[in-house]
Chains A and B, each alone.
Chain A
Amino acid sequence: MSDAGAGGRADRPSTLFSASTLIGPATLLVAIGILAPMLFLARYSLNLYDPRLLMIEAFSPANYIAFFSDPFYLGVFFTTLRVSFVCTAVCIVLGFPLAYLLARTGSRMKNLMIIGIVIPLFVGNAVRAAGWMTFFGSRGLLSVTLMDLGLRDGPTEIMFTETAVIIGIIAVNLPYMVLTLQSVLEGIDRNLEEAAFSLGAPPWTMFRRVLWPLALPGIAAGTILCFILAMNAYATPVLLGGPQFRMMAPMVYNQFQLNNWPLAAALAFILMATTLGLTVVAGLMTRQSFRG
């Protein structure tokens, strides 16, 4: 343990030795547990599928070509993108004020509020979808209230629509956005806001010229996180969208269950590549606007 105190003197043999014994097991587990399986999955995506023989060894881009030339798959792909963009945009608009309130609240309520935001995060998406199902159902609170108020004649059917899925995913992703933004906003000196106000800036100008640029790293991080989560949503689209509504992650599982593993593997990689690609672009864009 005392060798471990050699902070600063880098790469001494004893440091390297203790580093590998300490960090080695966890690293190996993650490397073998994730990287190796991913390689096999990549290999599977180049195989072919036959309804009778199931998977056939091959080295072909057929699954990827099938995806990009089939309007059905592309439709699912664009639905996933559209839902993810809408959810992420709403999460920024709703998440920023809540994160700001949390960052500027000094009271004991703050910790309790954060726990209130973290609990849903861990409760599981199926349980939260169940909550929306009672609300959205044709005889649920929303539909009945709209009829009682005379705004609608018949029951309102929100269940099994894209709207229901979007509402559900926003609730799932909002905590991530709030927690990411809150930690960044806490680091912004309150005096900067006061300075802007005392120089005569109206609130909106202060927000646009002071808070927003300073919070940009947090906004970027939160946006990327939200977007990734929306792209990969599984339980919410399955439960609130129903069997007719399709997004990418449910389709991966669906193809897997239909025994078409090569296509499912290709879908998984297209989903991951798109998500990572857009994430990188977003990261570059924020860095650019920092310089400019």
Chain B
Amino acid sequence: MTKAIASQSGRRGRALMDRRRLGRAAMLATGGFAFLYILVPLIFVTWLSFYRQEIPSYPPEGYSLRWYGAAAANERFIDAFLVSIQLGVISTAIGLAVALPAALGITRLRFRGRGALANMLLLPLIVPGIVLGFALYVFQVEIEIATSLPLLGSLGGLVWGHVLLVIPWATRLITASLEGFDRTLEEAAQNLGANRLTTFRRVTMPMILPGIVAGAIFGFVSSFGNLEVSLFLVGPGRTTLPIAILQYLQWKIDPTIAAISVLQITIIAAAMLVTDRFVKISRVV
């Protein structure tokens, strides 16, 4: 009797184990597919950049590196690339200068409306890029009418939009690194006779530096890759790299544009790998 029950439950247990294995296999298959799905566009564009022929027809007639040379000789893309770098660096510097104190305030002070303020700094991530870009354009038109400052299409107008893109990321990453900070270290330094400035410079700064570096890289990358806001704010003769890529692709796709895309992918991948050495990316995104 007991034996019969035991063997029956054993059989049921085995059937359950099989179903668990099946469930796990289904998870693995779908998850693997999803991972590939995310990466596949980048793989295709990288592959195309090595085609020998100009027309993107499959299968390739052979492989060549010459499109990288063609990309490097394309002045339009070089100019756009330099504008994007310049824009990213300036915007990141300004964004960090305001995000660092804001992050300190958010993590260390207790005051009414702290949460609301912290959320408000994330606003630029919530407002759709196309709406933000258009709103900034309209506002800059009004300012230009009121003050006759040549803001529209200027580098300053573009930087304004991009600083807004940098602030949320920089604040978020610096806040994340401050939250794990041991305040007793600062007290120890002050007990040992260091004044506030010295404490900040010699104790606080070195410890939150990884967060600042990560915030700077993420801020730069979000500026560097932005399309929608820039679309409204660029002026004649000044184009960013994402806009140049979009406009080229609206016209045609060939290995030259693929090579330029690979350049962008490489820069961003390098930035992410460097960031990961300072702050584990899995902790902040």
* CB of B150 closer than 8 Å to a CB of A: no
Selected from A110, A126, A234, the residue in CB contact (under 8 A) with B245 is: A126
Complex alpha-carbon distance, A153 and B43, angstroms: 27
A44 at the B interface (CB under 8 A): yes
Cβ contact within 8 Å between B245 and A124: yes
Q: Which of B55, B112, B253, B276 contacts A130 (CB 8 A)?
A: B253
**A40 & B45 in contact (Cβ 8 Å cutoff):** no
* Contact among A41, A98, A144, A268 for B58, CB-based, below 8 A: A144
Residue among A5, A116, A144, A170 making CB contact with B35, cutoff 8 Å: A116
Nearest-neighbour CB distance to chain A for B180, whole angstroms, equals 15
* CB < 8 Å neighbour of A171 from B27, B41, B45, B102: B41
B42 touches A127 (CB 8 A): yes
In the complex, chain A residues whose CB is within 8 Å of the CB of B137: 256
> With a CB–CB cut-off of 8 A, which chain B residues contact A264?
134
Report whether B23 and A204 are in contact in the complex, using a CB–CB cutoff of 8 Å: yes
Q: In the complex, how many residues of chain A place their beta carbon closer than 8 angstroms to a beta carbon of chain B?
A: 103
User: Is A260 in the interface zone, CB < 8 Å from B?
Assistant: no
Alpha-carbon separation in the docked complex, A141 to B48 (Å):
11
Q: Which residues of B contact A34 (CB under 8 A)?
A: 123-124, 127, 132, 135, 164
**Which A residues are CB-close (under 8 A) to B245?**
124, 126-127, 130
Is the pair A238, B246 in contact by a Cβ cutoff of 8 Å?
yes
Number of interface residues of B (CB under 8 A): 106
- How close is B27's CB to chain A, nearest CB, in angstroms? 5
A residues near B190, Cβ cutoff 8 Å: 2
- Assess A139 versus B35: contact at CB under 8 Å? Given A4-B109, A130-B245: no
A201-236 vs B, Cβ < 8 Å mask (1 yes, 0 no): 011100100000000000000000000100110110
Pick from A100, A127, A178: contact of B45, CB below 8 A. A127
Please state if B142 and A120 are interface contacts (CB–CB under 8 Å): no
Residues of B within 8 A of A278 (CB): none
Are B45 and A98 in contact, CB atoms less than 8 angstroms apart? Answer: no
Q: Chain A interface: which of B66-74, B75-83, B260-268?
A: B260-268
Can you give 11 A-B contacts (C-beta < 8 A)?
A: A4-B105, A15-B111, A30-B123, A37-B139, A40-B135, A40-B138, A99-B31, A131-B48, A232-B130, A253-B232, A256-B137
Q: Assuming A93-B30, A116-B39, A127-B42, what are 18 further A-B pairs, CB within 8 angstroms? A: A1-B199, A19-B109, A27-B120, A98-B30, A98-B34, A100-B27, A122-B272, A127-B265, A128-B45, A132-B44, A133-B56, A139-B58, A144-B57, A144-B58, A200-B12, A204-B23, A253-B134, A272-B128
- Residues of A at the B interface (CB closer than 8 Å) are 1-2, 4-11, 15-16, 18-19, 21-23, 25-27, 29-31, 33-34, 36-38, 40-41, 44, 93-95, 97-101, 110-111, 113-135, 137, 139-141, 143-145, 168, 170-171, 174-175, 178-179, 197, 200, 202-204, 207, 228, 231-232, 234-235, 238-239, 249, 252-253, 256, 261, 264-265, 268-269, 271-272, 275
